[in-house]
Every structure is written in C-alpha cells, then in structure tokens.
Homo-oligomer: A and B are copies of this chain.
Amino acid sequence: MESLNHHEISQLMLSLAVLLGFSRLLGEFARKLQQPSVVGELLAGVLLGPTLLGRFAPEWHAALFPAQGHVAVVFSGMTTLAITLFLLVAGMEVDLSSAWRQGAVAFKVGLLGMLVPFIVGFAGAWFTPRLMGAHADADHLIFALFFATALSISALPVIARTLMDLNLYRSDLGMVIVSAAVFNDLVGWIVFALILGLMGSDGNSGGTIWLTIILTLAFSFGMLTVGRSLIHRILPYIQTHTHWPGGVLSFAFCITLLGAALTEWIGVHAIFGAFLVGVAIGDSSHLREQTRSTIDHFVSFIFAPLFFGSIGLHIDFTAHFDVALVATVLAIACTTKLAGCWAGAWWAGMSRRHRWAVGFGMNARGAMEIILGLLALQAGVIRMRLFVALVVMAIVTSMLSGPLMQRVLARRRLKNVAGLLNSERFIRSLRGRTRNEVIRELAAVACSGTSLNVNDVERAVLQREETMPTAIGNAAALPHSHLDGLTFPIAAIGLSEAGVDFNSPDGVPVHVVIMILTPHRDSAVQLEILADLAGLFRSPGVLEKVQRAADFSELLAALKTEENFEIDGEKKTLGSSIDGTALVRN
C-alpha cells in the first residue's frame, strides 16, 4: 500500500506543527486587537509562504511545505477536509427557524443587500472583465457571475461574532442582521454552487450543465426540507441508543462527509454539501450545546487555522498585489453592499442609525469570500491578482465592520469580566474589617485613573448596598452602582482573608468582593456582568482558586477559564441561576 515513509511522517508532523502554531499565534494576536482571528491566520500563511519565508529562506520553505510529493498530497487532502468541516460549522450557525421569524424585514435587507452588489458587480465584470482581473481563458459569463457573487455574499461567522462582541446578538437589530445574512448566505452559496456546476462542465455540454443545476437545486431543496426533518428525527434516537456524545458527533461527521462527497460528485464543491448539512443539523434542539462546542472548538482552533494558514503557503502576495485592482474591488464591494443594505433597511422602515448599522454589519466578507476566491482561482476563472484583491477586500471589510457599527450605534464593546479588571484595581489583602471599610478601599482603587470622585462612588455603592445586600452567598459579594460620569464599566476586586460580614444569605463571611461601576444609561451591561459573576461563583472550585490567587495573573487565569466556560454553554441569566438552587439531602 502506498504510504508515507519515515522521513515524510516527520516532515508532515513538523510542518503541521509550524503552520498550526503560527496561525494560532497570529490569530490570537488579531483577537487581542479585536479583529477576527482569520486575519492573523491568513497572515501566518503569507509569512510562511513565498511572500516572506520563501523569499529569504527558500530551502526552508521547500523543506517545510513542499509543492510536490506525498506530504503535499496529504496537506491538500487535509486542508480540503478542514475547509469542509469549517463550512459545517458555518452552516450550523445558520438558524433557519429564527431567520424565518424575522420575516419581511430580514428578507428586504437580505434581498437588496445581495441584489445591489450582484447587479453592479455583474455589470462591471461583464463590461470590463480584464480590468477586474479575469483570467484570459475564463468564460465571460462565468467570470461575471462569479465576480457578482463574490461581491454580494456575506460572512455569517464574522458577522455573528462581531454582534456578540458588541452585545447585540440577541437584540432586535442583531437578529435582523443575522437573519438577513442567513438569507444572503443561503442564496449566495446556492448561486455559487451553480456557477461551480457551470465551471465543472466547462460550458461545452448543455445537457451536463442543466443536470448539474437541477441536481444542485434538488440537493439544496431536499436537504433543507426532507433531509432536515429526517436528521431532526434521527438525532434523538442516536442520543438514546449510543454512548453520548460519540454517537451524535460521529453521525454529524458522517453525514457531512456524505453530503460533501455527493455535492463534489454532482460537480459543485464538497464544501457546499457540508454547509447545507450544517444548516440542516444546526437548528435541531437535540444537538446539545456541548456537542456543538466540541465540534466548534476543534474546527475553530485546529482545522480552520490550518486551512486559512495554508492559503498563503504557495501564493506570493507582494508579487500579485495590484493596488488599482485592490482599490477598485474594495470600493465597489463596500459601496454596493452598504447601499443595498441601507436601501433594504429603509424599505423595511428601520431608523436612520439602524440603516447604517445594518449596512456596516453586513459589509463583513470574512472567510467566505476567501474560500470562494480560492475555488475560482483553482478552477482557473480568476487571476492571482484578483484573488489577492479579494483576500484584501475580505480582510478590510471584516476589520471595519465592528468599529463602524460601534461608532454608529455609540455602543462600547462589552468586555468580559476579566477584561474589566486590571492589576491596579486588584487588592490582594483587604485591610478593612467591615463592609463599609472594604467598600471605601475598593472605591479608591476603582476611581484611580478616572475622573470619578471617591466619595460619590462610595456613597452610591453604599446606598445600593443598603437597599438590598449584594452578597451572593458562597463567600462572595458584588457591590455595584450605576454612575453618571462613566462611559465604560469598571470593576475592582479585593480579597479578604479574615472575611467581612455583608449580610450574605448563607450567613458566611465574604472573602471575595468585586465592585462593579457601570455607566448610568447602560443598565443591560450591569445585569450581564452581575449575572456572569454570579454564575462564575456558583461553579465549584472558583472561589477557592480566586482566594488562592497570589497575584493578578493567577486571578485572571482563575476568572477567565471559568467565565468562558459559562459563556460557552448557554449564557445563564439571573432567572436560571435561581432555578439552579437545589439542596441535596440524603
């Protein structure tokens, strides 16, 4: 049997490690700068590819990422698989039922937000194909269709993440944007699948094209109706009769691979099948949050970085960077998408601010654009310089989306609790022995570096405390207040070894005190933070870890992991935390 030899295995493991390591490192860095991680992952590939490593150390580049031979073939197979799984996850984020509930508004925004870029893009590509970077051999119609689709498709994963960061995901505005993007994605991918069908049949046989188109539409329709309801019926059986979560996990993978094999066989790409399987499986109530997050984590943190990192490995980005084309593509993409969404939002009767927010939100192209471009490049429809321009456009639109929405809605990015803290607002050992002393101590550090007055803060917090004690049991208290002068939330944390009486419901002295000050106009932020913290301290072991924290870094570690654990599952609200109270008696 043909297999890898000793040297090739070593080479494969090393190159996977290097690519994964670099992609994740730069991906994390991008996130620190509040950018989508795909930006960093792409950059890693560019740095490891001919653009940088290949230029200055060509022998290293060739040894790590060979273009021929067994290792190259395995890499190609694995990245294909990685992108297939990535599309599964992207599909799983599509919530058809709630998109349906948004109804007319989402439809109007989605339709116009798709049509305007499509028509303008089609016209531009049809009349000036060379200017737009068409491949010399490319079919005129196929190129124009591709270019139009590339401009009109949105990146649901990036949009969803941006909305979550801005704490807008569950708002009405957020649901409209997400639902419009769902509509946009679904239609866009089906159109793109049709183009792939046209490409695959090379335009030389009319019969094959029609067969491909009919099969593609039949598959899409079948998967979203019969397939979807079949999957929703099979899932509970699998949960009942198999070892959880293995059964569901394997089932999801198997049907994804089958869907991918089928669409690839039809003549459209494997990822299209994976995407539709993701949509079909994604909104089943039987797909548990933990199964979902197992798939999501593995794909987001292992497969996606490998795929996006691999894109730059064999493409020289500087050599194919065409400033004029980049500027043209970027300008058309942004203006048409903005105009389309704005018009759709206006048609649906949304407020002026929201029209702009919808436009900026939908403008993010992210990973989807790049995948589309790569397929078109491989199929010989576009030239390298258009691919590079599409990648740049995707990155720029994704990076702008969050900040622009933030600006137009005047909304601050919701920080997680750990993000509100800094080492100057952490008191390792509180000196105070009474509640009031402790609150005064914390108020002092909370105010440092702000224009707040310590006495005002102290008074406001104490007043709130008198109204109703903020001890949440389990040796923690969360004194808090809204404040007028603030524009962003502040938290200060203090540990008391002796314990302080905070009138806690369980009568236990309080050892961890976290003071939370929030802007007056933004009451939702305060509720979110309090709910997060309450959830955090309900998890067993957190209190001990926080109390044992010797320095700020250890404190962050204790808070961060648990807190994200909470957020990964369904976010708990104040209501559900009260339900969760149960005493075990034996």
Contact = CB atoms under 8 A, between A and B. Distances in A.
Interface of A: 1-4, 6, 9-14, 16-17, 20-21, 24, 28, 31, 37, 67-74, 76-78, 80-81, 84, 200, 236-237, 239-247, 249-250, 253-255, 257-258, 260-261, 264-265, 267, 270, 286, 288, 290, 293-294, 297-298, 300-302, 305, 314, 468-474, 505-506, 527, 530-531, 534, 537-540, 553-554, 556-557, 560-561, 564-565, 568, 572, 574, 576-586
Contacts of A583: 472-473, 505-506, 578, 581
B72 A77 contact: no
A250 B564 contact: no
B577 A582 contact: yes
15 contacts: A9-B270, A20-B257, A70-B77, A73-B74, A74-B74, A239-B557, A240-B553, A244-B565, A253-B302, A286-B557, A288-B561, A506-B581, A539-B580, A540-B580, A578-B584
A12 B240 contact: no
Given A10-B261, A244-B560, A578-B583, 16 more contacts: A2-B69, A3-B76, A4-B73, A4-B76, A9-B264, A13-B257, A13-B264, A78-B81, A236-B554, A239-B561, A249-B302, A290-B565, A470-B585, A531-B584, A534-B582, A577-B584
User: Which of A241, A243, A473 is most buried by chain B, counting CB atoms within 10 A of its CB?
Assistant: A243
Contact of A80 (B12, B469, B531): B12
A505 B585 contact: yes
Nearest to A17: B257
Nearest to A474: B582
A246 B37 CA distance: 11
Given A12-B80, A585-B470, A579 B288 contact: no
Which 7 A-B residue pairs are closest in the complex by CB-CB distance?
A: A74-B77, A17-B257, A3-B76, A13-B261, A246-B301, A10-B264, A14-B261
Nearest to A297: B294
A582 B540 CA distance: 11
Nearest to A257: B17
Contacts of A11: 261
Nearest to A256: B17
Given A13-B261, A68-B2, A244-B561, A582 B473 contact: yes
A467 to B, nearest CB: 10
B538 A270 contact: no
A476 to B, nearest CB: 8
A514 to B, nearest CB: 13
A314 B3 CA distance: 12
A540 B579 contact: yes
A16 B236 CA distance: 24
Contacts of A565: 244, 288, 290
Given A74-B73, A76-B2, A557-B239, A579 B474 contact: yes
A77 B297 contact: no
Given A240-B557, A294-B297, A24 B247 contact: yes
Contacts of A21: 250, 254
Given A14-B261, A288-B561, A582-B474, A243 B31 contact: yes
User: Which of A10, A286, A473 is most buried by chain B, counting CB atoms within 10 A of its CB?
Assistant: A10
User: Which of A16, A258, A554 is most buried by chain B, counting CB atoms within 10 A of its CB?
Assistant: A16
A37 B250 CA distance: 14
A73 B538 contact: no
Given A77-B12, A78-B78, A1 B560 contact: no
A469 B584 CA distance: 10
Given A76-B1, A290-B565, A556 B254 contact: no
A77 B78 contact: yes
Contact of A4 (B77, B244, B301, B557): B77
Contact of A73 (B2, B17, B505, B553): B2
Given A10-B265, A257-B13, A258-B14, A250 B4 contact: no
A6 to B, nearest CB: 7
A201 to B, nearest CB: 11
A472 B584 contact: yes
Contacts of A257: 13-14, 16-17, 20
